[in-house]
């Protein structure tokens, strides 16, 4: 019987969990889910986006994105705007409260990145990010 090769997908998930352990306490303290934080962060970086673009960038399935956006909108973090040309197109942006939420969390999130950098090393993290960016470009 041959030894199975290490699982790429399992290793990636385990690495993600190790990284998220640094950030989950801050998210919990601010009563945000990981998905909500991804949406806030992406909108802060990209500005207003169509809901389908946001779902793709945040790696959130469209049906799940609907619930995430509903809660963020209810909490005053994001706003929705329908296109004047095509009512099916919905644009999402951060509100002032959403911008403030990002700002209030960024210092703590940056401290957590610094903890990762101290343990893992800047060079290794940079190399890992480059390799992951390359991997994102492969196609089946």
pLDDT in tens, the chain (140 residues): 678 888 999 999 999 999 999 999 999 999 999 999 999 999 999 999 999 999 999 999 989 999 999 999 999 999 999 878 887 889 999 999 999 999 999 999 999 999 999 999 999 999 999 999 999 999 99
For the chain, list the domains and their CATH numbers. 19-136 (1.10.10.10)
Predicted pLDDT at 5? 85
Predicted pLDDT at 138? 94
The reported pTM is 0.87
Q: Which two tokens stand for residue 39?
A: 């949406």
- 69: number of CA atoms within 13 Å, CB side? 23
Predicted pLDDT at 65? 93
Predicted pLDDT at 101? 93
The runs of H, that is alpha helices, within the chain are 8-29, 34-46, 51-58, 62-74, 96-120, 122-136
Predicted pLDDT at 1? 66
Predicted pLDDT at 74? 96
């Amino acid at each position: 019987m041959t030894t199975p090769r290490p699982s790429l997908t399992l290793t990636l998930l385990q690495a993600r969990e190790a990284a998220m352990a640094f950030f989950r306490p801050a998210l919990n303290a601010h009563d945000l889910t990981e998905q909500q934080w991804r949406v806030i962060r992406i909108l802060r970086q990209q500005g207003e986006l169509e809901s389908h673009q946001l779902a793709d960038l945040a790696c959130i399935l469209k049906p799940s994105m609907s619930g995430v956006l509903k809660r963020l909108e209810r909490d005053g973090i994001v706003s929705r705007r329908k296109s004047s040309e095509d009512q099916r197109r919905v644009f999402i942006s951060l509100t002032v409260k959403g911008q403030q939420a990002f700002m209030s969390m960024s210092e703590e999130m940056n401290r957590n990145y610094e903890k990762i950098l101290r343990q893992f090393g800047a060079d290794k993290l940079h190399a890992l990010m480059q390799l992951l960016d390359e991997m994102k470009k492969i196609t089946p």
